[in-house]
Chain A
Amino acid sequence: MDANIYQEQIIDLYEHPLNYGEIENPDFTYEEDNPLCGDVIRIDVRLDDEGRVADVAWRGDGCAISQASASLLTEEIKGKTLDEVKSFTSEELLGLVGVPLSMARVKCALLSLKVLKAGAYGIPDPGVMRTHD
C-alpha cells in the first residue's frame, strides 16, 4: 500500500475542486466545522421533482483531504434519492477518497458526509459559517 496520501487525485482536487460554490434557494443546506483543525464545510443541495439530487455545491476551508472528500462526495450523490443519500456510508466515501488515512485524518475525510447527512435528515442549519479569507 502506498503510504503517501497526497496522490494525484487528491492534489488535483485540491487545485481544482469539483462542485465548489453555492446554490440559490437550496432545498437544504448545512454546515459544520472541525474545530480541532479549523476545517469547515457547507453543502447546499437542490432536489428535482422526483426527489433526486439535481444540484449540489459545497464551500469551505480545510485540508486537502477534507476538500477532496467534499468534491468526491458531491460528485457521487448527483442523481441519488434522499434515501440513497441518507444510506451512503462512511466506508463508501473512504473508498472514493482511496488513500490510506490515519485515525485523525479519517475525521477530515468524513466531515463532508457528516454535513451532508445532517442536512438530508433535516437538522436545522447552525449557520455559523466563518471563512478566513
Chain B
Amino acid sequence: MFNVEDVRRDFPILDTEVYPGVPLVYLDSAASSQKPTSVIAAMDDYYIHYHANIHRGVHRLSELATSAYELARQKVARFINAPTTEEVVFVGNATEAFNLVAYSWGRTNIGPGDEILLTEMEHHANIVPWQILAREKGATIRYLPIRDDGTLLVERLDEFLNKRTRLFSFTGVSNVLGTINPVTELVEAAHAVGALAMVDAAQTAPHMSIDVQALNCDFLAFSSHKMCGPTGIGVLYGKRELLEAMPPFLGGGDMIRRVTLEGFTTNDLPWKFEAGTPRIAEAIGLGAAVDYLNHLGIDAVHAHEQTITQYALESLSEVPGLSLLGPPGSLHGGLASFTLGGVHPHDIAEVLDKKGIAIRAGHHCAMPLHQKLGIPASARASFYVHTTFEEVDQLTAALHHTRSVFRLN
C-alpha cells in the first residue's frame, strides 16, 4: 500500500490555491484526473530533446520518437494484458473509440432489423455513435434497465439479448452511479447469442486491473486523461480478427501501405486505424501514466479508493437531506454522486468551489440515466490516488455549510 502523502507530492497541482489562501481539494478525477510530475516530464522530455515525426523519418530524432511512441503502445498492451500490440489502437479518447467501431465495424456489420444492446447507465459516448448508426441502417437500440439501487438488471438479460443482437456495449463502471458491473458475465451473455461485446473502460482503466483476455471482450475503450495521462489520446482494444476485417476509419497518411491514383491498400494493424501524424507526445505521456499506476500498483490504487469511497459514503449519508445515488458497498467505484434537498447541483458546486473543493455538477454526459432517476442533475465527488480522509471531511463540512446557505437547517 502506498503512502498518500508521498503520492500527493507527485502531483504538483495539489499545491495550488484556487483562491488566495484556499487550497485545492480536487474531487473531480472522474471527469479528468490530475497529472503526476513523471507524466508531464516525459512529454516535456520528448518536446525538448527528441521531437520529430514518426514512422517515416530516417534521422536519429525520428527513430527515437518512433521507439518511444511504440514503447508506449507496449506499455498499454501489457497494462490491459492484450495479446499483441497490434490490437492496441491509439485514438483521441474513448469517445473516438466508440465512433471508430460504430463507423467501421458498424457500417459493415449492422443492417435493418439488427439490434444493439446498451444499458440505461451509459455515457453519451456509448449511446450517440450507436444512435447515429442505427438511424442510418434501420437498426434498433435497446437498453438494459437498472434497478433502484443502481445495479443492472442482469437477470433480465435474456429478454434483451436475442439472435438479432449484433453488439452489446456497456460500461465497466458507471460514471454517475459508481456501479461496478459484472463485465465477464455480460460478455458471456452477449457471446451466447452470437453478439459481440464492447466495454466502456473509461472509469475502469484508471482504477482497477483490466485483463482483456480474461474478460474475452471484443472491443474495449478508455481515455488517457482520466488515468493520470494527458488529454487528447485514448485507446481502442479490439480482437485482431475483427480489426483486420474492418474497413479503415479515417483515411490519410500512416494508415496506408501504398497509394495510387486509383486507390490504396491499408497499412498493417494497428496503424491501419491511425491516420495522419499521431498523438506522439500524448502517447508518451500515457505510457508514463501507465508506468506511474504500475509503480503504485493498480490493486493498491483500487484498495485506496475503496477505503476512501466507503468512508465518503458513510460520511455523506449523515448529511441531512442528502441522497446518495448508486449501490452501496463493494459494488461502488471511486465516486459518490448525490442530491441535497432541493438545492440545485450547480449551486452545491458553487458553494463548494468557494471552499476550494472541485466537484462535478450536472448530468455527467448521462442525460438518459438522469431521466430514469427522475432528477435533472446530480452532484458528484470522485476520488483518486491522492484523496485523503481529511478531504472527505472537508467535503462533508462544506455540504453542511451548503445546507445553511440554503436555509435547510
Binding site for B on A (CB under 8 A): 3-6, 11, 14-15, 35-40, 61-65, 105, 108, 132
Contact = CB atoms under 8 A, between A and B. Distances in A.
A104 to B, nearest CB: 8
Nearest to A33: B376
A36 B407 contact: no
Contact of A38 (B350, B370, B405, B407): B370
Interface string B306-335: 000000000000000000000000000000
A6 B377 contact: no
Contact of B351 (A6, A14, A35, A65): A6
Contacts of A5: 350
Given A38-B362, A132-B376, 13 more contacts: A3-B19, A3-B354, A6-B347, A6-B350, A6-B405, A15-B407, A38-B370, A38-B376, A61-B344, A62-B344, A63-B344, A63-B346, A108-B346
Contacts of B377: 37-38
Given A6-B405, A11-B407, A38-B363, A64 B354 contact: no
A35 B350 contact: no
B41 interface: no
Pick from B343, B344, B370 the residue with the most CB of A within 10 Å: B344
A69 to B, nearest CB: 13
Interface string B34-48: 000000000000000
B392 interface: no
Interface string B357-390: 0000111000100100011110000000000000
B255 to A, nearest CB: 35
B406 interface: yes
Nearest to B362: A37
Interface of B: 19, 343-347, 350-351, 354, 361-363, 367, 370, 374-377, 405-407
B374 A132 contact: yes
Contacts of A65: 346-347
B347 A63 contact: yes
24 contacts: A6-B347, A6-B351, A11-B406, A11-B407, A15-B407, A35-B363, A35-B367, A36-B362, A37-B346, A37-B361, A37-B362, A37-B377, A38-B345, A38-B370, A39-B344, A62-B344, A62-B376, A63-B345, A64-B343, A64-B347, A105-B346, A105-B350, A132-B374, A132-B376
Q: Which of B343, B347, B351, B367 has the most CB of A within 10 A?
A: B347
A4 B353 CA distance: 11
B128 to A, nearest CB: 13
B84 to A, nearest CB: 41
Nearest to A67: B344
A4 B376 contact: no
Interface-centre pick from A39, A61, A64, A105 (highest chain B CB count, 10 A): A64
A58 to B, nearest CB: 16
B19 to A, nearest CB: 8
Contacts of B406: 6, 11, 14, 64
In this complex, which of A14, A37, A40, A62 has the most chain B Cβ atoms within 10 angstroms of its Cβ? Answer: A37
